[in-house]
Amino acid sequence: MSDEQLNAFFEPMGVVVIGASRDENKLGFGVARNLLASGYQGRVALVNQKGGELFGHPIIQSLDQIGFPVDLGIVVVPAQYVPETLIACSQKSIRSIIVISGGFREAGKEGAVLEEVCRKIAIENGLRILGPNCIGVIDTHAPLDTTFIQPPMPSPGEIAFISQSGALGAAMVDWARGEGFSFSQVVSMGNQIDVSEADMLVLAARSDHTSVITLYLESIQNGPAFLRKVSSVTPRKPVIALKVGRSRAGQLAASSHTGALAGKNNAYEAAFRKSGVIVAETTKELFEWAKMLAWTPSLPKSSNVAVLTNAGGPGVTAADAIAKARLTMAEYSASTVDALTTLLPAAASVGNPVDMLASASPDIYAQCLNILLLDPNVDMVLVIAPPPPMFKSIDVAKAISKVISRSEKPVVVSFMGSTLVKDAVNYLRKKKIPEYRFPEQAVRTLAAMRNYAEIRERDYSVPLIPAGKLDIGRALEIINKNLDIPGFLPAKDAERVMGYSGLPVVPLSFAESISEAEEIAEKMGYPVAMKIASTKLSHKTDFGGVYLNLKSADDVRNAFHRLHERVEKERLADEVDGVFLQRMIKGGQEVIVGAVRDPVFGPMLMFGSGGVEVEGLKDVQFSLIPPSNHEIEYLLESTWAGRKLGGFRNFGKADLKSVKEILAHLSSLMLAIPEIKEVEINPVIVLEEGMGAFAVDSRILV
């Protein structure tokens, strides 16, 4: 299936509407109306068995009557007739098809069966199908409108919008008209039996008219394909996604800490982070950020923001929002302070925020803005303009727009109010200068822009595993030996797999009796740890099956007796094999490292605070495997456990290099052996810098 077939969705040679209708209440009428009114330059055929005429165009009764080349079909017939229509299109060499018709998977079991029939027809005949159950596509620059939504078609714009909700797509087309921006392309995905959001994203990115791509996502069917395709786009053009349905439902029954914490939302966040997608929290943010990125000529070089206002309250509001967004209030140079002091009244504030006072004229606004933009310590500016008491807002808009149009630095404007700032707002929109009603909105938009700048700067290289430390073949032998045994690997087997994977393990020694335990402890050297040996007990500490820091033979005997009494009391003798002894690692910090397979995106890595409170603290982060150097740094910097390893109070700087190696080795294991479902190493004890990190307790689910 070639790219030419995908291109036909936006740049067709000819279009046929199958199911065009003269009944104004039917979708076939709306599709034909919009297509013919869009200004599409190619030839159009309308097909309906009843024949007739619509908008001055003849309605032919079959595809065989088309006398010119057609490469895009729009199907608006009842669901039961869609399969035969697809076959007829194939016979006419129409291989790019938009199925508007509903009544498929979304309608129940019978519809799902019918949808599968259509999918097989597409595969067998080399068709590319968008939908079914979609509203079609719009390209405002072609121009082309294959939808049935209320006219007029949007004016030509710079933002592509790909939506898995047709209703939301239609609503946003109308909303954008009132917000002063427009779209380059709009795509409704429908049920996605063939063409995916990733396919359309790549196609939209090829357009010279598209500056930013926005996505409304409910789910992603093929995670690896999405990652591969979106990662090819984000270094060139920003992609902003609104992901809905971010729930941990279905994860609560997971059997390890790692599995329990690896919710759907964590997987999507990790996927977006890996591929460089900016994540919006609301529908409004999705387009506020897109407008800023589309209309601003360059990205900020740092997080330093200058705030210019004519009132103290909005300035304080902005300063709080900047701190919350993890941006920085710029510190002005001495020359900037001198220039502002000379220009403004003595009562004005020349710090950051700059408060020019309510008397500030349009010219003062413009001069102060120009001074701030010239400061090398300033990389973004927020201009706040409640209605000036002595001047019209439109005059302020005209004055500052001249300065903004000459600047390479991002500037956003917050004209606070409604009726008194309406003309100013409309003026800025015509000039394509980003404006917002409140400072908080403007600040979050600046943060999104800085986020994309950092995405462009990231190190996406994957860390190399030192040669000679991996023996995946021997690890796989152990895994295969246990595939028919439900649950976790025996502890000793898990330890061996970890060792063959290059992870630094603390060896376990098995004992069935007190005398064996004493003998092993003496050889190991005190202090030692004793752990119950059982593949049936998920969390040994919760059971009371772990004794630490045993310093003598008496301690070993007492611990063994207590474990035996607990097992007898709970009647678990058949589920307990004996005990493991392990050398205690002195000092260090405890962290958890884990991995789990997500059904959409594949293996994920986990890092965070370890020990018995891992689920209570929830100080963990996830990354898709294989992690880039940036992602590994993110795992460490975004968790308290990772930041603490860098040195905190009585904790010296820990061996971060060893932690990074453990993360890299575990990633290699998950990639090499797909039979592994979950891995949890809790705790990993991290010693001081240069002293290493050690996997103390490992669990592997196959």
| Distance of alpha carbon 115 from alpha carbon 19, whole angstroms | 19
Indicate where the chain has its CATH 3.30.1490.20 domain(s).
Answer: 507-583
CATH number 3.40.50.720 given to 3-244? yes
List, in sequence order, every residue forming a beta bridge with 354; answer none if it has no partner: 308
Q: Over 50: is that where the pLDDT of 254 sits?
A: no
Instruction: Give the pLDDT band of residue 3 (cuts 50, 70, 90).
Output: low
pLDDT of residue 487: 81
The answer to whether the Cα torsion of 479, 485, 487, 490 is positive or negative is negative
Indicate where the chain has its CATH 3.40.50.261 domain(s).
Answer: 296-457
Percent of the chain with pLDDT over 70: 94
Percent of the chain with pLDDT over 90: 82
CATH number 3.40.800.10 given to 589-701? no
Span 556-584, mean pLDDT?
84
The alpha-carbon radius of gyration of the chain (Å, integer) is: 32
Indicate where the chain has its CATH 3.40.50.720 domain(s).
Answer: 3-244
pLDDT of residue 40: 97
Please give the CATH architecture assigned to the domain spanning 296-457.
3-Layer(aba) Sandwich (3.40)
pTM for this prediction: 0.91
What is the per-residue pLDDT across 483-515, written as a single tens digit (0 to 9) for each? 888 788 988 999 999 999 999 999 999 998 999
The answer to whether 528 and 507 are in contact (CB under 8 A) is no
Nearest to 362 by CA among 399, 337, 390, 330: 399
Span 615-631, mean pLDDT?
90
The answer to whether 216 and 286 are in contact (CB under 8 A) is yes
What is the per-residue pLDDT across 551-560, written as a single tens digit (0 to 9) for each? 999 999 999 9
Q: Count Cβ neighbours within 10 Å for each residue of 543-572 and write b for 16 or more, e otherwise.
A: bebbbeebeeeebbbebbeebeeebeeeeb
Beta strands across the sheet bearing 52-54: 52-54, 57-60, 43-47, 14-18, 72-75, 96-99, 128-130
What is the per-residue pLDDT across 338-376, written as a single tens digit (0 to 9) for each? 999 999 999 999 999 999 999 999 999 999 999 999 999
Within 10 angstroms of residue 214's Cβ, the number of other Cβ atoms is 27
| Domain range 507-583, CATH class | alpha beta
* Choice among 97-101, 138-142, 540-544 with the minimum mean pLDDT: 540-544
pLDDT of residue 144: 98
Q: Tell me which amino acid residue 315 is.
A: G
pLDDT of residue 462: 86
Instruction: Give the pLDDT band of residue 253 (cuts 50, 70, 90).
Output: very low
Q: Over 50: is that where the pLDDT of 250 sits?
A: no
Within 10 angstroms of residue 61's Cβ, the number of other Cβ atoms is 12
Q: Over 50: is that where the pLDDT of 416 sits?
A: yes
Q: Over 90: is that where the pLDDT of 113 sits?
A: yes
DSSP annotation string for 215-283: EEES--S-HHHHHHHHHHHTTTS-EEEEE-----TT-TT-SSHHHHH--HHHHHHHHHHHHT-EE-SSH
Q: Over 80: is that where the pLDDT of 404 sits?
A: yes
| Distance of alpha carbon 259 from alpha carbon 592, whole angstroms | 13
Q: What is the mean pLDDT of the chain?
A: 92
Instruction: Give the pLDDT band of residue 648 (cuts 50, 70, 90).
Output: confident
* Choice among 150-164, 292-306, 532-546, 608-622 with the minimum mean pLDDT: 532-546
Nearest to 380 by CA among 318, 290, 425: 318
**3-state class (DSSP) for residue 593:** strand
